[in-house]
Amino acid sequence: MLLLLLLSLKGFLFSSFISNRPNGDKETRNYKNGVLQGPATLKVKNGKCEFTYKDGKKVGPTVYTWNDGAREEASYDEKGVKNGPGKMTKPDGSVEEFKYVDGIRQGPASITFPRGDKISFTYVDDYMEGESVYLLTDGSKEISNYTKGKKEGPAKEIRSTGEVEERRYKDGQLDGPATMKWESGDKMEFSYEKGKRVGKATYTW
């Protein structure tokens, strides 16, 4: 159902539409001479999106706001495609910074958590891929790898106190043999299964 308000000014036709979609979404937008122009708002079940039309295409800054408090800031180029820097603020206060390339997240990105911890990684076709570094405020860090958005394969945790843990991820969870080494040369061997330590551990002095 469309609600159409028409105004005629100096021979130009202006119209403001409220479009109610079958799924419940509602978009408020404006036309000038039959072409989408100016600010618009799309309200959906879990939030809203505010953006601007120019000559029928979305252009410039856009802000997505979700009901849970999450917020994304991005920009549309002259072709109506997301390009350039993006920023996502999540309900827990963490902030993710990334880049859109032709509507898809690509390249270096980072997430900074409220207490100051930070993870640096890379997007490939909207997925976290390759090496990531998770740096804690106390100087500890974990170096791991992502495949299609999940941690996979070997990883290393280097603690600020000097211990080094070598371990593996499978389908995003710690899984398989692991080794903890101390600066003194002591070593402990143990195992993870589905994110939890299991079985026996062997400590060598």
Tens digits of residue pLDDT in 130-161: 999 999 999 999 999 999 999 999 999 999 99
pLDDT digits 0-9 by tens, 107-122: 999 999 999 999 999 9
How would DSSP label each residue in 13-38? EEEEEEEE-TTS-EEEEEEETTEE-E
pLDDT, residue 21, reads 84
User: How confident is the model over 200-204, as a mean pLDDT?
Assistant: 97
8-state DSSP, 106: -
pLDDT, residue 11, reads 36
d(CA 53, CA 3): 19
178: confidence class by pLDDT, cuts 50, 70, 90: very high
d(CA 10, CA 114): 54
Listed residue (156, 112, 148) closest to 130, CA to CA? 148
Instruction: Report how far Cα 143 is from the mean position of its chain's Cα atoms.
Output: 19
Reply yes or no on whether the pLDDT at 194 is more than 90: yes
- CATH code given to domain 57-199: 3.90.930.1
User: How confident is the model over 46-60, as a mean pLDDT?
Assistant: 96
Domain-wise residue ranges, the chain:
57-199
Q: Supply angle C-alpha 153, 158, 161, rounded to 5.
A: 155
Instruction: Report how far Cα 168 is from the mean position of its chain's Cα atoms.
Output: 24
- In angstroms, what CA-CA distances link 23 with 19, 27, 44, 156? 11, 12, 9, 47
d(CA 201, CA 118): 31
d(CA 121, CA 4): 47
pLDDT, residue 13, reads 55
Listed residue (160, 201, 194) closest to 179, CA to CA? 201
pLDDT digits 0-9 by tens, 72-131: 999 999 999 999 999 999 999 999 999 999 999 999 999 999 999 999 999 999 999 999
State the distance between the two ends of the chain, measured CA to CA, in whole angstroms: 76
